[in-house]
């Protein structure tokens, strides 16, 4: 499942609800997940808030493509990707990627893959609020 | 015939608009479109292109009815 949401979400609640409702009890032996959270500082500056813009349509299309590629590469049972857009405050979760599989290798590797490709390909842009000023984040740091 | 052109993030602010219809006569590639719409603006940053919501390169060909977008490097996650 892929969700883009303008409202704040609780990744741990989403995980537990999804895992219950996916009806895979007894099949999965592994769940790997990644939660990205907004920090209150960046490049030495205090950051008071953030606006996340995206390209509706292309975002969903690319997330689906990334998840499909992961499913073709590893043996996965279920995947869950939630990404926040709109106005965020420090400590707000930004992204959740969760992957279920029979064995840990598939979950670990696919979760990492989905997250890294999302970072480099999915059309989202962050704009930070620094006091009275705003600043676009120019690029993502490498995860490897 | 026209193409729909979209701008996102810092490029949207730089150009002062989020979308417009552009007559594509005389324009063959995405780069041709970018040169036309960014004329008169000082663009120092890297620009990415997409056609119909798929990443494209500067020499990708455009046709009537396409949705072309210009945006800076992505920073989600």
Residue A144 lies in a domain: no
Q: Please report residues of A whose CB lies closer than 8 A to that of B8.
A: 53, 55, 123, 125
Digit-coded pLDDT (tens) for A16-66:
999 999 999 999 999 999 999 999 999 999 999 999 999 999 999 999 999
pLDDT tens, B49-59?
999 999 999 99
DSSP for B9-60, please give it: HHHHHHHT-SEEEEE-TT--BHHHHHHHHTTTS---S--EEEETTEEE-TT-
Residue A30 is assigned to a structural domain of this protein: yes
For CA atoms A137, B16, A122, A54, the dihedral sign is positive
pLDDT at position B44, please? 83
* Cβ <8 Å between B9 and A125: yes
Q: Residue B34: which region, alpha, beta or left (left: phi > 0; alpha: psi -120 to 50)?
A: alpha
Whether A112 is covered by a domain: the verdict is yes
**Over the stretch A89-140, which tens digit does the pLDDT of each residue have?**
999 999 999 999 999 999 999 999 999 999 999 999 999 999 999 999 998 8
Asked if residue B52 lies in contact with residue A99, where contact means CB atoms within 8 angstroms, the answer is: no
Q: For position B42, what pLDDT does the model report?
A: 84
pLDDT average, residue stretch B62-72:
97
For residue A141, tell me if it sits in a domain: no
- Structure confidence at residue B43 (pLDDT): 86
Query: What's the domain range around A60?
Result: 2-133
Q: Do B53 and A58 touch (CB under 8 A)?
A: yes
Total domains in the fold of chain A: 1
**pLDDT-based confidence at residue A144 (cuts at 50, 70, 90):** confident
Closest-CA distance, B48 to chain A, in angstroms, reads: 10
Tell me, yes or no, if the pTM score tops 0.90.
yes
Q: Please answer whether residues A49 and A134 qualify as being in contact, where contact means their C-beta atoms are separated by less than 8 angstroms.
A: no
Q: What is the CATH number of the domain that holds A26?
A: 3.90.1170.40
Is there a contact between B53 and A94 if contact means CB atoms under 8 Å apart?
Answer: no
Is A138 a member of any domain?
no
Tell me how far apart the alpha carbons of residues B31 and B58 are, in angstroms, rounded to a whole number.
5
pLDDT of amino acid A22 = 97
Query: Phi, psi (5° rounding) for residue A88?
Result: -120, 155
**Does residue A139 belong to the interface with chain B, where contact is any CB pair within 8 Å?**
yes
Q: Which domains does chain B have, with CATH numbers?
A: 2-71 (3.10.20.30)
């Amino acid at each position: 499942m892929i969700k883009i949401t303008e409202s704040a979400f609780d990744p741990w609640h989403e995980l537990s609800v999804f895992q219950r409702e996916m009806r895979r009890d007894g099949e999965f032996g592994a769940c790997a997940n990644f939660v990205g959270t907004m920090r209150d500082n960046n490049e030495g500056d205090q950051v008071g808030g953030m606006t996340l813009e995206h390209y509706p349509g292309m975002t969903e299309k690319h997330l689906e493509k990334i998840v499909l590629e992961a499913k073709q590469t590893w043996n996965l049972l279920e995947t869950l990707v939630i990404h926040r857009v709109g106005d965020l405050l420090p400590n707000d979760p930004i992204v959740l990627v969760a992957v279920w599989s029979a064995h840990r290798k598939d979950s670990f590797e696919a979760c990492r893959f989905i997250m890294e490709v999302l970072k480099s390909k999915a059309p989202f842009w962050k704009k930070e609020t620094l006091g009275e000023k705003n600043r676009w984040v120019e690029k993502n740091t490498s995860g490897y | 015939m026209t193409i729909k052109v979209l701008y996102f993030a810092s490029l949207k602010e730089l150009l002062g608009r989020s979308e417009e219809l552009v007559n594509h006569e005389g324009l063959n590639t995405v780069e041709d479109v970018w040169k036309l719409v960014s004329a008169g603006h000082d663009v120092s940053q890297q620009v990415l292109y997409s056609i119909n919501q798929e990443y494209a390169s500067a020499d990708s060909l455009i046709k009537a009815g396409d949705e072309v977008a210009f945006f800076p490097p992505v920073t989600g996650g």
